[in-house]
Structure 1
Amino acid sequence: MTTPALIESLDFEGHGIARVDGKTIFIDGGLPRESVSYKSYRIKPRFENAEATQIHTSSHLRVNPPCPHFGSCGGCSMQHMEFSGQVAAKQRVLEDNLKRIGNIKPEMLLPAIYGPEWGYRQRARLSVSVRGNEVRLGFFEKRSKIIADLKECHVLPPHISKQILPLRQLIKRLSIKENLLHIELAVGEHVDILVLRTPIKPNKADQALLKTYADEWKVQFWLQAKSSEAATVFYPNNAPQLSYSIPEFGIVMRYKPTEFTQVNHLINRTLVARAMGLLDPQPNEVIADFFCGVGNFTLPIARSGAKTLGMEGLQQLVDRANESAADNQLASNTQFKVANLFEMTESWLKKLGHFDKMLIDPPRDGAHELCKSISAQNGPQRIVYVSCNPATLARDADVLVHEKGYVLKAAGIVNMFPHTAHVESIAWFEKAE
């Protein structure tokens, strides 16, 4: 049944929020102040999830999505909303989470960090589906395990988007196509890498096809049999190493195509600069970088002359961080350790010694145990928290402000993933005087 509704606002996933007969309806494709008809696909006692079927009154923020796959492909959810409106909506999501979950309001809202809205995605996992003679390559359809029938992708770099159809034709000719699970994409500054995730080794005919494709499209193929195993170079062997740079700090970071790095290298540069401005590292300070990854923030901190400790849960990333520290002549004032930071305790943190400042950059689960372990009396003077989940940031901010004696000086969003509802943010906490 189709029912008219007035969209009041957006939720944290970019769905329009309406209230019909006292019930909350989350409507895909609806924008604030729009009157829409909708059809529910999930009905619960207190709420419903629905799809907009007709727009009766259109928002001034509504635009025509340029991608022909928008609406079916689940890779993007907000292409129908004007770009600056997306940024503003994400800022409101951050503010709402801080208020609702953390009972906190930052003293200052930071200007949003944003950049080009298209062609920004240097990292992606393109799933593969083979049914008879049909090959699909790309992201899953909305609310489905079916892969969207992509022919182009506007958030991928244009030269990668142009390869979607040629790659589909290549896959169709491979003997291993039925066993090809996905292709991991990593676009570096000097090389583009495609990692084929397949338990079956390509035969000689497959290898010839892959080499021809690599030469024509100037890419490097890697192979990975299992997700737990390291990916290895297949062809060509003489390609440049995968890397990204942070020129403001004179940093070049090497990484492997299956290792975590930010998907948007341009925005990452601005994010690092913002984090360093808020942290303000000084020579001879002792600073910790928790959830340090490959050292994305650790090395710029070390460039200031501060003594830095980076901690991360994966040995592979710590090894890469040590390599980059040596590459950038920063090994003398950096130290990296492997640790499960989700099991941090106050006594364990105390054994690491005193830190003047901290940078925390956790995954979506946040850094709850770490924040609870910070001493209310002897904690660092300043904490900069980079978050990919405003809900867990707000939860952890609640601990820092209401239990550990910090003030939330500033917070703002980072539009790392344009046209998606993903909200990246950064917050600055200072020890109350």
Structure 2
Amino acid sequence: MGRRRRRLPREPFEIVITGLSHEGRGIAHHDERTLFVHGALPGERVRAVYTKRRRSVAEARVVEVLSPAPERIAPHCPHFGVCGGCSLQHLTPERQVELKQSVLMEQFRHMGGVQPERVLAPLTGAPWGYRRKARLAVKHVPRKGRVLVGFREKHSPFVAEMDRCPVLDPRVGERLTELGRLVEGLSIPDRVPQIEVALGDETGALVFRNLAPLTAADLDRLAGFARDSGLAVYRQPGNEATMALVHDPVGRRLDYALPGHGVRLGFRPGDFTQVNAEINRAMVDQALDLLAVAPGERVLDLFCGLGNFTLPLARTAAEVVGVEGAEALVERGRENALRNGLDNVRFHGADLSRGAADQPWATGGFDRVLLDPPRSGAFEVLGLVAALGPKRIVYVSCGPATLARDAGELVHRHGYRLTAAGVMDMFPHTAHVESMAVFQREAQD
């Protein structure tokens, strides 16, 4: 027989919080265990209850704050604490950014054995209404008499009951109840598990995942919502290839502008784009400033997506080569280059997670390299990048641990200096850490 699991104690207990974890949870020690407390801040005395307990580590949640920390604020959203979309609304935005910066510096020390020579000022923007990309969960709940649309509850498969979301772009964030009623009126309210949100500067789209066929009446209802909201509506019965337009009331492609570089980038609802347009513009500006491309230089942009950095770089460089693993994004990059009148940029498809030393584009040397990999990092291509001999590398990261690991490789094995690094608050009120780092050859400028 297996060991019987002991029941968690239900009685609240008092504890003093001594630290803050990378995920924004309070850290304490209780019953000879390291305790992670959801909703607690350093220096606070709280009453908490266990939510999970193992031999040496436990988790708990706050039921009452007895002595609040100075940086504690009232959460802006009434759903905070239940909805799993945000984890840091009880902390001032300034302190959130400080936490993310400290996480990055700790990872550099711990994972890479490096430290930047200069810490970049954080890139910050509006903390509310910023999110343009999201996958909203949908659940038909007969006992509540409604369809719920929003994010899932914290550490739970259930969909949080919410009427609005202040971090979503208001074009969608103010319509969650309306979307729930829309799905509820379909013939298959229990067979629509997800709505994907994709918003551009002036247009937007919603993709309804449908696990059963929609009727003609359903399609009419969805088209009516599109006309009323101004948002294009798609249905998707299978994988991304099955996505089909139901109705587009505007008739214009999704796109966004990078005004400082005279570029507009078009995209489709399923394409990867950055969720925060304001931070993305600042991120592109900073990356190009740090890369410092001179006229006549060749630039390599790895993990280039649909050309977010590639096309702005092409305004200055003699030639830019963009490489991306998703063929759909490669095609979108080519379309965007043509639309923006740029003929000095080339896009190639390649699975960079397998390295790329045998690729025809990986020849001739490059003066500058930009890396913007997924959370898994760019480790597999670092040897190739170093062999190409760029004087400077700018690395844009959504995973501080893998950035730190790769920084250690570039510094200790390939002879680069980590000259600068800092965070970008792409996801306010969450523990996600986005960052940028600059590497320079020891003997170069």
- For the superposition of Structure 1 and Structure 2, which TM-score range results when normalised by the shorter chain? over 0.9
Please report how far the alpha carbon of residue 373 of structure 1 lies from its aligned counterpart in structure 2 after TM superposition: 3.6
**Is 1:383–1:429's contact at 8 Å kept on the other side of the alignment?**
yes
Among candidates 256, 260, 269, match of residue 272 of structure 2: 260
One-letter amino acid matched to 1:298: T
Residues 3 and 352 of structure 1: is their aligned pair in 2 closer, same or farther, counting only changes over 3 Å?
A: farther
Among candidates 4, 16, 19, match of residue 14 of structure 2: 4
Please report how far the alpha carbon of residue 349 of structure 1 lies from its aligned counterpart in structure 2 after TM superposition: 8.7
Q: After superposition, what is the alpha-carbon deviation per residue over 1:396-431, rounded to whole angstroms, capped at 9, x for unaligned?
A: 111011111110000000000000010100000101
Q: After superposition, what is the alpha-carbon deviation per residue over 1:349-405, rounded to whole angstroms, capped at 9, x for unaligned?
A: 9943311111000111111111244346x5311110000010110011110111111
Indicate whether 1:363 and 2:361 are aligned.
Answer: no
Q: CA RMSD in A?
A: 1.7
* Residue ranges of structure 1 left out of the alignment (5+ in a row): none
SS in 2 for 1:168: helix
- Counterpart CA distance in 2 for 1:158 and 1:261 is 18
- Counterpart CA distance in 1 for 2:420 and 2:269 is 34
Please report how far the alpha carbon of residue 348 of structure 1 lies from its aligned counterpart in structure 2 after TM superposition: 5.2
Match of 2:244 in 1: 232
Please report how far the alpha carbon of residue 10 of structure 1 lies from its aligned counterpart in structure 2 after TM superposition: 1.9
Residues 423 and 351 of structure 1: is their aligned pair in 2 closer, same or farther, counting only changes over 3 Å?
A: closer
Indicate whether 1:387 and 2:385 are aligned.
Answer: no
- Counterpart CA distance in 1 for 2:257 and 2:32 is 52
Query: Which runs of at least 4 in structure 1 moved beyond 4 Å after TM superposition?
Result: 345-351
Match of 1:188 in 2: 200
Q: After superposition, what is the alpha-carbon deviation per residue over 1:189-209, rounded to whole angstroms, capped at 9, x for unaligned?
A: 221211111143321211221
**Is 1:310–1:334's contact at 8 Å kept on the other side of the alignment?**
yes
Indicate whether 1:427 and 2:417 are aligned.
Answer: no
Match of 1:69 in 2: 79
Among candidates 60, 68, 87, match of residue 58 of structure 1: 68
- Counterpart CA distance in 2 for 1:68 and 1:279 is 42
SS in 2 for 1:185: strand
One-letter amino acid matched to 1:16: G
- Counterpart CA distance in 2 for 1:64 and 1:134 is 29
- Counterpart CA distance in 1 for 2:27 and 2:363 is 46
Indicate whether 1:219 and 2:223 are aligned.
Answer: no
**Is 2:227–2:249's contact at 8 Å kept on the other side of the alignment?**
no
SS in 1 for 2:241: coil
Match of 1:292 in 2: 304
Match of 1:335 in 2: 346
- Counterpart CA distance in 1 for 2:367 and 2:19 is 41
Among candidates 148, 156, 159, match of residue 160 of structure 2: 148
**Is 2:290–2:438's contact at 8 Å kept on the other side of the alignment?**
yes
Please report how far the alpha carbon of residue 108 of structure 1 lies from its aligned counterpart in structure 2 after TM superposition: 0.4
Please report how far the alpha carbon of residue 95 of structure 1 lies from its aligned counterpart in structure 2 after TM superposition: 0.7
* Residue ranges of structure 2 left out of the alignment (5+ in a row): 1-8
One-letter amino acid matched to 2:351: N
One-letter amino acid matched to 1:34: E
Using the size of structure 1 for normalisation, the TM-score is 0.96
Residues 347 and 324 of structure 1: is their aligned pair in 2 closer, same or farther, counting only changes over 3 Å?
A: closer
Map 1:279-318 onto structure 2 (within 5 A). 279-318=291-330
Percentage of identical aligned residues: 40
Please report how far the alpha carbon of residue 240 of structure 1 lies from its aligned counterpart in structure 2 after TM superposition: 1.4
Match of 1:129 in 2: 139
Match of 1:92 in 2: 102
Please report how far the alpha carbon of residue 229 of structure 1 lies from its aligned counterpart in structure 2 after TM superposition: 1.7
One-letter amino acid matched to 1:150: M
Please report how far the alpha carbon of residue 230 of structure 1 lies from its aligned counterpart in structure 2 after TM superposition: 4.7
One-letter amino acid matched to 1:37: R
One-letter amino acid matched to 1:68: P
- Counterpart CA distance in 2 for 1:209 and 1:154 is 26
Residues 201 and 190 of structure 1: is their aligned pair in 2 closer, same or farther, counting only changes over 3 Å?
A: farther
Among candidates 250, 273, 283, match of residue 285 of structure 2: 273
Count residues in correspondence. 431
Residues 347 and 227 of structure 1: is their aligned pair in 2 closer, same or farther, counting only changes over 3 Å?
A: closer
One-letter amino acid matched to 2:409: V
Among candidates 12, 32, 44, match of residue 54 of structure 2: 44
Residues 198 and 311 of structure 1: is their aligned pair in 2 closer, same or farther, counting only changes over 3 Å?
A: same
Moved more, 128-137 or 384-393: 128-137
SS in 1 for 2:380: helix
Please report how far the alpha carbon of residue 21 of structure 1 lies from its aligned counterpart in structure 2 after TM superposition: 5.7
